[in-house]
Amino acid sequence: MNPTPSQTVGPFFSHALPYPHDWELVPAGHAGAIMLTGRVLDGAGEPVPDALLELWLGRTGDRGALLRGDGEVSGFGRCATAPDGSFRFRTVRPEGAYLSLQVFARGLLRSLLTRVYLEDRPDPLLDGLEPERRGTLIATGSGDRYRFDVRLQGDGETVFLDF
C-alpha cells in the first residue's frame, strides 16, 4: 500500500505533545544516569526554539513511556526545545553503541532521524561516513554529562539517516 505522506509538526504542538517528565527516561538519582544536553541550530547557526526531540533507547523498559510510573527505566523520552534551542534528557547508557534521536520542527516537512554515540568506536555506520562528518554523531563529554548539538544545515551538518 502507498504510505501516507509526512507533514510538518508545525509551530503549535506544545499544548499537545509534551507531557510531565517526558525528558526523564530515568528518575532523578537513578544509578548510572547520564544527562544528555545540546542545542538544535539552523543553517544560519541560529537556535531552533520550536523543535521537538524524541530519544529511543531500544527497549521499552518499565517506567512507562507516557505515564512515568514506579519503574526505573523508560526507553522513550521527548523534549521540546527551549527558546535558546536547548534540550535535555536524563537517561541511562544504551546497551549498544548509540541512542536513536528523532527531530521534528516547524520547517521540517518530515522528521529527521539520527544517532547519538557516546564514544567514538568502530561501527558499521560511523565507518561508512566521510571522516569529517563522523564527529557529528559523537557526543562530547564523559562520566555522567554528554553534549550533542543537532545542526540541521550547513557547516557541521549532522548526519541524518535515510529511513
Partner 1 sequence: MTHPPYLSPGYRSTILRAPARPPVAFRTDPDAIELTGPVFGHHEVGSLDADLTRQHAGEPLGERISVTGRILDSAGKPIRGTLVELWQANAAGRYAHERDQHPAPLDPNFTGAGRCLTDEDGRYRFVTIKPGAYPWRNHHNAWRPAHLHFSVFGRAFTERLVTQMYFPGDPLMPFDPILQSIPDEAARQRLVSAFSMELTEPEWSLGYSFDIVLGRTPTESS
* C-alpha distances in Å from residue 80, one per residue of 38, 71, 74, 159: 12, 23, 18, 21
Q: What residues have CB less than 8 Å from 1, skipping those under 6 apart?
A: none
List residues near partner 1 by CB under 8 A.
Answer: 1-17, 42-44, 46, 48, 54, 56-60, 64-67, 74-76, 94, 96, 98-100, 102, 104-113, 124-125, 128-129, 133, 152-154, 157-163
- As to burial, measured by CB atoms within 10 angstroms (0-12 exposed, 13-18 middle, 19+ buried), residue 137 is buried
> Cβ of residue 15: shortest distance to Fe ion, in angstroms?
12
94 binds, among partner 1, Fe ion, none (CB under 5 to 8 A by kind): partner 1
For partner 1, give the closer residue by CB, 8 or 86.
Answer: 8
Nearer to partner 1, 86 or 100 (CB): 100
- 58 in contact with Fe ion (CB under 5 A): no
Residue 10 near Fe ion by CB under 5 A: yes
Do the strands 51-61 and 98-105 form a parallel or antiparallel pair, or are they unpaired? antiparallel
Using the rule CB under 5 A, is 107 a contact of Fe ion?
no
By CB under 5 A, tell whether 18 contacts Fe ion. Answer: no
